[in-house]
Amino acid sequence: QTSPSQPSVQQINAFREREARVYAKARPKSKKRFADGVAGFLDGVPMHWMLDWPMPFPMVVEKASGAAITDIDGIELDDFCLGDTGSMFGHSPPPVARAIRRQARRGLTYMLPSEDVLELGHLLTTMFGLPQWQIATTASDANRFALRVARAVTGRAKILVFNGCYHGAVEETFVRLKDGKPVNKPGLSGQFRDLTEDTKVIEFNDVAALEAVLAPGDAACVIAEPVLTNSCMVLPDPGYHAELRRITRETGTLLLIDETHTISSGLGGYTRVHGLDPDIFVLGKPIAGGVPASVWGLSAGVAERYSDYTRRKPWGYSGIGTTLSANPLQFACMKATLTDVMTAKNYRHMEKLAARLADGLSDAVARAKLPWHVARVGARVEFICAPGPLRNGAEAEAAHAPALEAAIHVGLVNRGCLIAPFHNMMLVSPATRKKQVDRLVDAFGEICGELA
Ligand code: PMP
């Protein structure tokens, strides 16, 4: 911690240890059942991300409903993590729960369309603007398949990513800048290939670098979140998206906008709210209200080029698919989400409370005179334990304060509020109530006061 006004390491450690004891004491059942992991699972967990929560051991969840989550020790928390966006519209939104019940009587997967499909294409086009869609199961897959299409239609092998990006388990996006040079992202397991051979990487918000890197005309596609939400939260400079679109067009590079997190922006995502015009659009996580599903959409031009490409290519395996994708449960839940959950009314509620949350957190930071800041994209709010705003991935990496953030997370859980692990993200859902937001603001304020 370089700044003199940041909490000291001793202060952070003392706070974290005290909070960890409080957490463990309150959860004898979770501790007994889970503190040593569960037999039969690698490292004791069914998915290793569960070890990345900052609490001493994960709480075992009994149920989640609306914007609250209850563990087997009977403790109810206000849930601002919401499955890191999978449940951005609340846990089991009633229209989705009804769709699940209805479809459960009609079969769950059969590699054929159900009647819901008859409306779904239209719903996707109306909501997001692009005319041609495919359904997959995860946002990682949707990105992977969309990148393949971009390469097919352009005949170019390379792609461009932004430093600090995350687009899911898409191997070729795991490239970073280190001292200005592209390298494989540190920490990848079992990755021996040099990913920088086909992946270019530059900083976000750098128009000159974008011009230079795309000038050779060898990149199929830029894959971008419209706001970097996986590197703290980096907002685009005014005019940056217009430049991104201009330069990609001038160099024949396709633009893939990954809205998986920025769908928090409002109806139709950041793309619709800010009038972006991508060639390819990807959305996963909440698109079926928490049931695993994702979509990738193509502009008319790219769809036409891809049809042309597939007509010319020898018949055979495309390498794009997965068996459980486009199943009738996904159709039913996606239809329910697009019709009755992703509504203007719900977004208005989310936006209003998220603004209240961001203002409350900013006030708490100011009161405690900490050198921190708060950023927001619609219903998605992030506090960053460093001054801001941040302009790119390098600045975001420098701002990251893992020990401090972990201490705050545990402190918040002990005060009744769950926020997303790995970063400091809070989501407001249609089910979130004002008193939950105010509780989070108060809890954060108390912790800032203790750490300041
Ligand atoms: N795109 C973005 C922008 C993401 O943040 C994530 C996950 N955090 C993904 C794609 C991948 O989503 P999934 O893990 O559901 O495949």
Domain annotation covers residue 86? no
Q: State the pLDDT at residue 34.
A: 87
Calpha distance 182→441 (Å, rounded): 40
DSSP single-letter state for residue 394: H
CATH code, 440: 3.90.1150.10
Count of domains observed in the chain:
2
Q: How high does pLDDT run on average in the chain?
A: 97
Give the residue from 341, 365, 389 where a domain finishes. 341
Domain annotation covers residue 1? no
Calpha distance 300→105 (Å, rounded): 37
Give the residue from 302, 318, 341 where a domain finishes. 341
**Protein residue whose Cα sits closest to atom 12 of ligand 1:** 139
Provide the domain limits for residue 98.
94-341
Mean pLDDT of 246-272: 98
Choose one of 141, 285, 291 to mutate for the ligand 1 pocket test, by most ligand atoms within 8 angstroms of C-beta: 285
| Residue pLDDT, tens place only, 120-177 | 999 999 999 999 999 999 999 999 999 999 999 999 999 999 999 999 999 999 999 9
Residues 326 and 354 in one domain: no
Residues 312 and 221 in one domain: yes
Residues 253 and 176 in one domain: yes
Residues 145 and 248 in one domain: yes
Question: Is pLDDT above 60 for 4?
Answer: no
Residues 428 and 350 in one domain: yes
Question: Is pLDDT above 70 for 2?
Answer: no
Is residue 418 within a helix (H) or strand (E), and if so which, with residue range?
strand 417-418
| Residue pLDDT, tens place only, 402-448 | 999 999 999 999 999 999 998 999 999 999 999 999 999 999 999 99
Q: State the pLDDT at residue 428.
A: 99
338: Cβ contacts below 8 Å, ≥ 6 apart: 120, 123, 124, 127
Confidence of residue 5 (pLDDT cuts 50, 70, 90): confident
| Residue pLDDT, tens place only, 365-400 | 999 999 999 999 999 999 999 999 999 999 999 999
Calpha distance 447→445 (Å, rounded): 5
Q: State the pLDDT at residue 298.
A: 98
CB 446 within 8 A of CB 365: no
Q: Where are the beta strands (DSSP E) in 227-317?
A: 254-258, 280-283, 294-298
Residues 388 and 350 in one domain: yes
315 by Cβ neighbours in 10 Å (0-12 / 13-18 / 19+) ranks as exposed
Residues 374 and 314 in one domain: no
**Protein residue whose Cα sits closest to atom 13 of ligand 1:** 139
Domain annotation covers residue 4? no
Nearest-atom index, ligand 1, CA of 140: 16
**Ligand 1 binding residues, C-beta < 6 A:** 138-140, 143, 166-168, 225, 230, 258, 260-261, 284-285
Q: State the pLDDT at residue 439.
A: 98
Q: How far is the CA of 200 from the centre of ligand 1 (A)?
A: 20
Domain annotation covers residue 238? yes
Cα torsion through 398, 403, 404, 408, rounded to 10:
130
Give the residue from 341, 372, 401 where a domain finishes. 341
Domain annotation covers residue 192? yes
Confidence of residue 1 (pLDDT cuts 50, 70, 90): very low
* Angle, alpha carbons 235-172-277 (nearest 5°): 45
Residues 214 and 250 in one domain: yes
Residues 309 and 397 in one domain: no
Provide, rounded to the nearest whole percent, the portion of the chain with pLDDT above 70: 99
Q: State the pLDDT at residue 15.
A: 98
Nearest-atom index, ligand 1, CA of 143: 10
Domain annotation covers residue 85? no
Confidence of residue 3 (pLDDT cuts 50, 70, 90): low
Domain annotation covers residue 89? no
CATH code, 102: 3.40.640.10
Instruction: Tell me what ipTM this predicted complex has.
Output: 0.99
| Residue pLDDT, tens place only, 309-321 | 999 988 888 999 9
* Tokens describing residue 444: 């954060």
Residues 74 and 106 in one domain: no
Mean pLDDT of 295-301: 98
Q: How far is the CA of 392 from the centre of ligand 1 (A)?
A: 19
